Amino acid sequence: MEIIMIRHFQTPGNVEKRYIGRTDEPLADLKGREQLIRERQDSCRDVEQVIISPMKRCIQTAACIFPDKTPVLCEKMRECDFGLFEMKRYEELKEIPAYQEWLDSNGTIPFPEGEDPKLFRQRCVEGFYECVDRLISEEVKKAAMVVHGGTIMAVLSCIDKEKREFYHWQLENGGGYRVALDEEAWRQGSRVSGEIEKL
């Protein structure tokens, strides 16, 4: 089975380099993005099923790329809650001790008044596993997931056979990866991907 994981297109907060997690922002103006939309449509030919985070930016991105598909929502794949850092830019946070402490931890400690990154990653991976189990049971051979950068990083750092770390999988908005999964190995309990190729 092939799964194409796509990060949603830019929101206003992404353009301004803000931490956008629980904030349910719509997409920014897509003018000038027609080429990227066409590229994603070309890379997603023959997709049988589309799975998305329930947040506006993913719903709207999926509608651009897959206008003829009715997506399936996966609640567990929503973005992380950045707590006190939500909607803030680096320049607004850099003098705050709690932010410096979080940076010094390489992003491993909980966000103040937000989500614990370990639990976020666990949630995303659980959601991915549940979706793959269902896709296999429905005999789907090619699916797409339109989700968040952090969601993709969480999933791929967990299933990658080379065990490359979380930040290795950072993506630009609209970027994606093509992930190969062996269905028979998955049925037998293997949770390791085949090849992972950047779109």
Q: Could you give the 3-state DSSP secondary structure of residue 96? A: coil
The domain locations on the chain are 2-82+116-198
Q: Which DSSP category does 194 fall into?
A: S
CA pair distance 131, 171, nearest whole angstrom: 22
**Looking at residue 32, what is its pLDDT?**
81
Beta pairing partners, 7:
147
Name the average pLDDT for the chain.
96
pLDDT classification of 11: cutoffs 50, 70, 90: very high
Q: Residues of the chain with pLDDT > 90: what percent?
A: 96
CATH architecture of the domain covering 2-82+116-198: 3-Layer(aba) Sandwich (3.40)
Query: What whole-number percentage of the chain has pLDDT above 70?
Result: 100
Q: Which tens digit of pLDDT belongs to each residue from 70-80?
A: 999 999 999 99
Radius of gyration, CA atoms only, the chain = 17
> In this predicted structure, what is the pLDDT of residue 30?
85
The string of DSSP letters for 116-178 reads: -HHHHHHHHHHHHHHHHHHHHHTT-SEEEEEE-HHHHHHHHHHH-TT---GGGG---TT-EEE
Q: What is the pLDDT of residues 90-141, one digit of tens each?
A: 999 999 999 999 999 998 999 999 999 999 999 999 999 999 999 999 999 9
What is the average pLDDT across 51-76? Answer: 98
What pLDDT score does 10 carry? 96
What does the pLDDT average to over 149-156?
A: 98
Instruction: Give residue 31's pLDDT band: very low, low, confident or very high (50, 70, 90).
Output: confident
